[in-house]
Amino acid sequence: MRIGRKRGKKLTYDANCDPLEVYDRVMGSADRITADEWLEMEAWLKNWLKTDPPEEIRSRFVPIGVGETICMIASAVRKKREMV
């Protein structure tokens, strides 16, 4: 049994980050994720996918899933920052 993420605890997007916590973060509170966190999450996702994760977990992120959402929002953040 997996224990859910505690409220108020910010995820650290590094090699030790649990992909299921990232998934829960996006699915449960996407409206409270900051612009910088979307960019951190995208960088983490790209690195995580290089590690050849188990298909059961990977399928939640790609080809169409939370990973696409993360990348689309991160792209929008970058474009908005370029406009300023």
Cα 25 from Cα 32, distance rounded (Å): 9
- What is the model's pTM? 0.83
Q: Is the pLDDT of residue 5 over 80?
A: no
Cα 52 from Cα 39, distance rounded (Å): 21
Cα 17 from Cα 79, distance rounded (Å): 27
> Residues of 73-82 as b/e, b for ≥16 C-beta within 10 angstroms?
bbeebeeeee
List, for residues 14-67, the tens digit of each pLDDT value: 888 999 999 999 998 888 999 999 999 999 999 999 999 999 999 999 988 999
